[in-house]
């Protein structure tokens, strides 16, 4: 399978962490791409018209995106070889809990990435402070919700917790709290912070760390 | 079940069209909300920290979001009563095809919604033409891809085609081609256009049309 990727994309990282956790990483070959919301990567657009990462081409030549679809596909492959350890419960309450945690983590990421576009990609004269404030409020409210529910999810390794870890890691990566005091998320989230300190030491997370910002 | 909604949200509409198609619409009570990326709806944020629509509260009190999770949940409920007519194939190639079409439609929608924020919400002096051009290119490339593959998907009623129809309808709703010649998508997409002309007459689509823009 070929995964179009960049080393700093948190959505790519979700897929890579999943592949590590379920023992499929050796089956992925990585193809670098350079997506950008304005200067679109035409080679990538030819595969995925949205021009976004991650994009997977399966061994049968099927093109899959986005990260949610790819993670579910990888998990389905693992189902053939694992008796336990799947990252997405097949059905029922446990499935919805995992998928909602993924939605929340993806929503935090979407807001953090839009903030990045606003503060690092958009010409300085065209930036809108209220937009950034609105996006960062999503990040803060999202993490506060995780903290309230931490006892429910923090004991598991699943697509929800993988997504949460990738989102928190991206916030740390792009918004060091010395530069962004409003994103010093650990202060108000001791349970989530303690969980993340452990989770980010998993081999799957260590192997997928982005290069220094 | 309670669905937080607004009549103009295309992501809400995906869920409503699904509920109509699988015979569950009577079980949804609708609760209006007013999400906004800058002036956040605090009542909604208290339920869903991202402050986004759609958000569903199940009969058991579980909060589900986003539209993908809600549509899959509704489809799982229908599975108990339908022998056919489910909107998401349970597994295999057919499932990935439907989910990728949803990803593509959601990506078109995301780009169209970001364009809307740029051109109708952001103060005029802070707008960036190149950003709008990049987003609209995602819309155009996405529809071109649908057109190339139209023979594969246009015969079905599933979550993929529901998502495609809601995306195309939103493009028409927000960007009438008289005002946005670049989004006169029908010219280059005769198969998709013919399909959409039929699909939008389905009772599920007629019952969920947004109010006049």
**Residue A208, in any domain of the structure:** no
Q: End of a domain among A51, A79, A107?
A: A79
Residue A66 CA to residue B107 CA, distance in Å, equals 9
Contact B40 A126 (CB under 8 A): no
Q: Which residue of A has its CA nearest to B37?
A: A134
**DSSP letter (8 states) at residue A209:** P
- Interface contact flag, B37 A134, Cβ < 8 Å: yes
- Looking at residue A145, its pLDDT comes to 98
Write down the pLDDT at residue B212. Answer: 80
Work out the average pLDDT over A90-98.
93
Q: Which residues of B112-132 are buried (b: 16+ CB within 10 A; e: fewer)?
A: bbbbbbbbeebeeebebeebb
Distance, in Å, from the CA atom of B6 to the CA atom of A199, rounded to the nearest integer, reads 38
Question: What is the predicted pLDDT for the residue at A85?
Answer: 61
CB contact under 8 A, B134 and A37: yes
d(CA A118, CA A176): 17
Minimum Cα–Cα distance from B98: chain A residue: A69
Q: Within a 10 A sphere around the Cβ of A7, how many other Cβ atoms?
A: 13
Q: State the DSSP code for A187.
A: G
Determine the structural domain holding residue A30 and report its residue range.
Answer: 2-79
Residues A125 and A71 in one domain: no
By three-state DSSP, how is residue A96 classified? Answer: helix
Chain A residue closest in CA terms to B128 = A126
Who among B64, B103, B135 is closest to A69 (CB)?
Answer: B103
Q: How many domains does chain B have?
A: 2
> Cβ of A40 and B122 within 8 Å?
no
**Cα–Cα distance between B133 and A96 in angstroms, integer?**
37
Q: B139 to chain A: nearest residue by CA?
A: A50
Contact A123 B128 (CB under 8 A): yes
Residue A50 lies in a domain: yes
CB B139 within 8 A of CB B197: no
B47 and B131 in one domain? no
Asked if the Cβ–Cβ distance from B38 to A104 is below 8 Å, we say: no
- Regarding whether B112 and B57 lie in a shared domain, the answer is no
Average pLDDT score over residue span A130-148: 97
pLDDT score for B181: 87
Count of CB atoms situated within 10 Å of the CB of A94: 14
Answer yes or no: are the C-beta atoms of B40 and B49 closer than 8 Å: no
φ, ψ (nearest 5 deg) of residue B169 = -65, -40
A42 and A16 together in one domain: yes
A57 and A98 share a domain? no
The parts of chain B modelled with pLDDT lower than 50 are none
Q: Say yes or no for a CB contact (<8 Å) between B49 and A76.
A: no
Q: Are residues A173 and A119 in the same domain?
A: yes
Same domain assignment for residues B38 and B98: no
Please, are residues B91 and A76 in contact by the beta-carbon 8 Å criterion? yes
Residue A39 has pLDDT above 70, yes or no: yes
B28 and B117 belong to one structural domain: no
Q: Do B69 and A100 touch (CB under 8 A)?
A: yes
B100 and B198 assigned to the same domain: yes
Q: How many CB pairs under 8 A join A and B?
A: 110
Return the ∠ at Cα B49 (arms to A161 and A124), rounded to 5°: 95
Token reading at B22: 């699988």
pLDDT at A63: 98
> Looking at CA atoms only, how far is residue A55 from chain B in angstroms?
11
Task: Say yes or no: A99 and A31 in one domain.
Answer: no
Q: Is the pLDDT of residue A83 over 60?
A: no
pLDDT of residue A123: 98
Q: What is the pLDDT of residue A181?
A: 87
Give the Cα separation of A10 and A106 in Å (integer). Answer: 9
Residues A129 and A197 in one domain: yes
For residue A59, count other CB atoms closer than 10 A to its CB. 9
Residue B212 lies in a domain: no
* pLDDT for position A176: 92
**Confidence check: pLDDT of A82 > 70:** no
Cα distance from A86 to chain B (closest Cα, Å)?
Answer: 15
Judge whether A117 lies within some domain: yes
State the DSSP string of chain B. -EEEE-TT-HHHHHHHHHHHHTT-GGGPEEEE----SSS--HHHHTTSTT--S-EEE-TT--EE-SHHHHHHHHHHHHHTT-SS--SS-SSHHHHHHHHHHHHHHHHHHHHHHHHHIIIIIS-GGG--HHHHHHHHHHHHHHHHHHHHTHHHHTT--SHHHHHHHHHHHHHHHH--TTT-GGG-GGGG-HHHHHHHHHHTTSHHHHTTPPPP-
Name the minimum distance, in Å, from the CA of B198 to any CA of chain A: 25
Tell me what percent of chain A is helix, strand and coil, each rounded to the nearest 5: 60, 5, 35
pTM: 0.97
Q: pLDDT by residue (tens digit) across A8-27?
A: 999 999 999 999 999 999 99
A100:B141 CB<8 A: no
Cα B93 to chain centroid, rounded: 23
| A85, part of any domain | no
Percent of chain A with pLDDT over 70: 97
Q: Choose the final residue of a domain: B25, B47, B79.
A: B79
Q: Which of B79, B114, B140 is the last residue of a domain?
A: B79
A98 and A34 within one domain: no
3-state secondary structure of A193: helix
Residues of A whose CB is below 8 A from B138: 40, 49-51
Q: Pick left, alpha or beta for residue A10 (phi over 0 → left; psi -120 to 50 → alpha; otherwise beta).
A: alpha
Kindly indicate the confidence band of residue A201, based on its pLDDT and cuts at 50, 70 and 90. Answer: very high
Min distance A109 CA to chain B CA atoms (Å): 11
Question: What span, in angstroms and rounded, lies between the C-alpha atoms of B170 and B176?
Answer: 10
pLDDT of residue B82: 61
CB under 8 Å to B24, separation ≥6 — which residues?
B74, B77, B78
Contact A141, A183 (CB under 8 A): no
pLDDT tens for B37-70 read 999 999 999 999 999 999 999 999 999 999 999 9
Q: Which chain B residue's Cα is nearest to A38?
A: B134
CATH number where A181 lies: 1.20.1050.10
Q: Is A30 helix (H, G, I), strand (E, B) or coil?
A: strand
For residue A6, give the DSSP letter: -
What CATH number is given to the structural domain containing A65? 3.40.30.10
């Amino acid at each position: 399978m070929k995964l179009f990727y960049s080393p700093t994309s948190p959505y790519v990282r979700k897929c890579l962490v999943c592949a590590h956790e379920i023992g499929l990483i050796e089956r992925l070959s990585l193809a670098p791409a350079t997506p950008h919301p304005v200067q679109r990567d035409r080679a990538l657009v030819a595969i995925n018209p949205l021009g976004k990462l991650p994009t997977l081409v399966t061994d049968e030549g099927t093109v899959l995106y986005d990260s949610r679809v790819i993670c579910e596909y990888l998990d389905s492959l693992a189902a053939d070889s694992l008796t336990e350890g799947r990252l997405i419960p097949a059905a029922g309450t446990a499935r919805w809990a995992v998928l909602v945690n993924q939605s929340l983590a993806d929503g935090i990421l979407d807001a953090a990435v839009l903030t990045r576009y606003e503060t690092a990609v958009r010409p300085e004269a065209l930036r809108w402070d209220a937009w950034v404030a609105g996006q960062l409020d999503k990040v803060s409210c999202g993490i506060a919700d995780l903290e309230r529910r931490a006892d429910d999810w923090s004991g598991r390794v699943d697509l929800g917790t993988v997504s949460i870890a990738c989102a928190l890691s991206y916030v740390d990566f792009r918004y060091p709290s010395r530069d962004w005091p409003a994103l010093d998320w650990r202060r108000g989230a001791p349970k989530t912070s303690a969980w993340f300190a452990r989770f980010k030491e998993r081999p799957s997370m260590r192997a997928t760390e982005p290069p220094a910002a």
